[in-house]
């Protein structure tokens, strides 16, 4: 199978073909996911919770992400690899450029930043320096203390409009991909249709251009709890490879996520 690029993902959106994504943190699982045909692998700062046993993503460092990015890149031959930039690793443009360079050198194809239009300068600077960027809006786990917990975002019209405005601002600044987390289905649809770049959802309903899950949630082995928006594919199949294959099939067919995994 041909190597996945950002052009591949954009073409999928234009053809209304769903993008499939999972988190990965090591070479073995990256290889397994890659062989089943996953489009995107994300080295998420979720590793702080699912690997390190932290109660949030905040303690994760750039060094942590770079280590796991190298591991994932070693196992992934064709999937598009995105690396999270951790909490406070992109507080200023200069800091952003230095830390993004570390993650790209570790093997990332793109870096992901959480936040709205205040990131425009940094995103534009990364684009000018040849670093592809994925934005992240909605529930941004690095801001969990501001939100007062892991709560659905954008239910009020003014908050929904702000998320749409932020999404447009990130695209205008040069972001080439967007993750939407924990937002109402109708808002995710509205944002996905407004942007020309692909939108990948998690807890954002079925109308985004693709879906991503934390691998530990998909296998039902998270140390904390199973989010409403996830699904335990390992219980259904009894086999890791078959679980990934079924996830990909159901996303591509529009069968996942269903109403029981979504928010209004």
Report d(CA 122, CA 95) in Å as an integer.
9
| Domain locations in the chain as residue ranges | 6-261
25: which 2 tokens? Answer: 């943190």
| Binding site feature residues for 3-methyl-2-oxobutanoate | 45-46, 84, 112
At 212 the three-state DSSP class reads strand
Catalytic residue selected from 94, 181, 242, 260:
181
Q: Are 23 and 44 in contact (CB under 8 A)?
A: yes
Sign (positive/negative) of CA torsion 246, 252, 253, 254? positive
Burial label, 150 (beta-carbon count in 10 A; 0-12, 13-18, 19+): middle
pTM of the predicted protein model: 0.95
pLDDT at residue 222 in the model: 75
Model pLDDT, residue 140: 80
Q: Is 249 a catalytic residue?
A: no
Fold category of 6-261 in CATH? TIM Barrel (3.20.20)
Read off φ and ψ for residue 87, nearest 5 degrees: -50, 130
Residue indicated by tokens 């499939």: 20
Binding residues for Mg(2+): 45, 84, 114
DSSP 133-201: EEEEEES-GGGHHHHTSS-----SHHHHHHHHHHHHHHHHHT--EEEEES--HHHHHHHHHH-SS-EEE
**What is the full per-residue pLDDT of the chain (264 aa) written as tens digits?**
799 999 999 999 999 999 999 999 999 999 999 999 999 999 999 999 899 989 889 999 999 999 999 999 999 999 999 999 999 999 999 999 999 999 999 999 999 999 999 999 999 999 999 999 999 999 887 666 555 556 788 999 999 999 999 999 999 999 999 999 999 999 999 999 999 999 999 999 999 999 999 999 999 997 666 789 999 999 999 999 999 999 999 999 999 999 999 998
């Amino acid at each position: 199978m041909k190597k996945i690029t950002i052009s591949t993902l954009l073409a999928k959106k234009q053809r209304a073909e769903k993008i499939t994504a999972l988190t990965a943190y090591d070479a073995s699982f990256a290889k397994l996911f890659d062989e089943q045909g996953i489009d995107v692998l994300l080295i998420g700062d979720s590793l702080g919770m699912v690997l390190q046993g932290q109660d949030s993503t905040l303690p994760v460092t750039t060094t942590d992400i770079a280590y796991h990015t190298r591991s994932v890149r070693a196992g992934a031959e064709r999937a598009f690899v995105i690396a999270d930039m951790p909490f406070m690793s992109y507080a200023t443009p200069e800091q952003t450029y230095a830390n993004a360079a570390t993650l790209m050198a570790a093997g990332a194809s793109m870096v992901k930043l959480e936040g709205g239009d205040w990131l425009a300068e940094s995103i534009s600077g990364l684009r000018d320096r040849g670093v592809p960027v994925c934005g992240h809006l909605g529930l941004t786990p690095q801001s969990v203390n501001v939100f007062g917990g892991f709560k659905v975002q954008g239910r009020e019209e003014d908050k929904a409009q702000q998320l749409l405005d932020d999404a447009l601002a990130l695209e205008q600044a040069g972001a080439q991909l967007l993750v939407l987390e924990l937002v109402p289905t109708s808002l995710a649809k509205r944002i996905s249709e407004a942007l020309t770049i692909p939108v990948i959802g998690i807890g954002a309903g079925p109308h985004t251009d693709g879906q991503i899950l934390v691998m530990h949630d998909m296998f039902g082995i998270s140390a904390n709890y199973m989010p409403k928006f996830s699904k335990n594919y390992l219980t259904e199949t009894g086999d890791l490879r078959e679980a990934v294959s079924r996830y990909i099939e159901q996303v591509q067919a529009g069968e996942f996520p269903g109403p029981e995994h979504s928010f209004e």
